[in-house]
Amino acid sequence: MIYDNIKIAVLGGDRRQLYAIMRLAETGAKISVTGLDIGLCQGLRQTKITRETSPAETLKDASVIILPFPVSADGAHINAPLDKDGELGETKLLSVLRLSEPGALIIGGKLPEHFASMARDKGHSVHDLLAVESLEIKNAYITAEAALSVAMNTLSHTISGASIGIAGFGRISKQLSRLFSALGAKVTVAARKDSDLAFAETLGYKTVKIEGEHWSEPLTCGYDMIFNTVPHMIFNKEFLEKVDKSTVLVELASVPGGFDLAAVHELSSNISWAPSLPGKYAPESAGELIADSIIKIISREARQL
């Protein structure tokens, strides 16, 4: 579809956002960007995208506002890791509501609830990309493939025959366990639900039930890598003290993650922090998925813009 009558404002984001706006530019919409170095993406140099130095100019007359994925690292400020010139500076999320046009369509990933609620109260149409099931499923595969790449670059031996532990059995974990198993790794899945454990067992994986104070004891020895996908603390100080020092621990979950942070710093544990992997390992694929979801949302809302 062609949206040459629509202005899209883009604030911040990582490399995924670069490829997302390149796809969005194909719709014919007028795109204005702040807090994102478009020079990092070769393809964007040939597009008609305006780079503003202030969020106020970017948001002026914009009927669609695209925020990062995730929107914020601290719940207050816009996530802008590629803002090399400091265009966003300490710009707070709430200032978007003050500067935006009435009734604008706001789209972002993992929108803070207080921000989304205030935006709706001010008459904005708000869409969280985390609620787009098709995007989450495809993004989970990209994350799993990237995590596999982390393993290949970390281990000193092949994946075949490696012992891999995976905590959680959601979208990412299912993809990750499948990829490791296909390459000959010995996979162990840790989960709370009996239904998840039963499903994992039918796929040939060993299982550990996350239950009780000492549930993680079986994971303390014999593993090359352990991946966590659970977004809250499940690996305590006792586990970190006992786990083999040769075992590489990988955090895939968003903050605060699954490891006891205080114990991690105290014990100097062998942990690799790897959140937001799609933006680091496959930004083009991830960005195009984000753009496709945004275009579908705009299409549904177009009559109101």
What digits encode the pLDDT tens for the residues 58-101? 999 999 999 999 999 888 999 999 998 889 988 899 999 999 99
pLDDT digits 0-9 by tens, 207-220: 999 999 999 999 99
| Residue 206 token pair | 């060993």
- Of residues 177, 174, 155, the one with CA closest to residue 165: 177
Pair 108, 163 in one domain? no
Pair 161, 290 in one domain? no
143 by Cβ neighbours in 10 Å (0-12 / 13-18 / 19+) ranks as buried
Residues spanned by the domain of 31: 7-131+281-304
Residue 249 within any structural domain of the chain = yes
Pair 86, 27 in one domain? yes
pLDDT digits 0-9 by tens, 175-188: 999 999 999 999 99
Distance separating alpha carbons of residues 270 and 96, to the nearest angstrom:
39
- Of residues 255, 225, 231, 261, the one with CA closest to residue 243: 225
pTM: 0.85
pLDDT at 43 over 70: no
pLDDT digits 0-9 by tens, 218-255: 999 999 999 999 999 999 999 999 999 999 999 999 87
Pair 40, 90 in one domain? yes
Pair 172, 258 in one domain? yes
Q: How many domains does the chain contain in total?
A: 2
Pair 288, 227 in one domain? no
Residue 1 within any structural domain of the chain = no
Residue 2 within any structural domain of the chain = no
Pair 231, 287 in one domain? no
Pair 41, 79 in one domain? yes
DSSP annotation string for 158-227: -STT-EEEEE--SHHHHHHHHHHHHTT-EEEEEES-HHHHHHHHHTT-EEEE--STTTTGGGSSS-SEEE
Pair 174, 52 in one domain? no
Q: Print burial letters for 53-92: b (CB count within 10 Å at least 16), e (below 16).
A: eebebbbeebbbbbbbbbbbbeeebbbbbbbeeebbeebe
CATH number for 106: 3.40.50.720
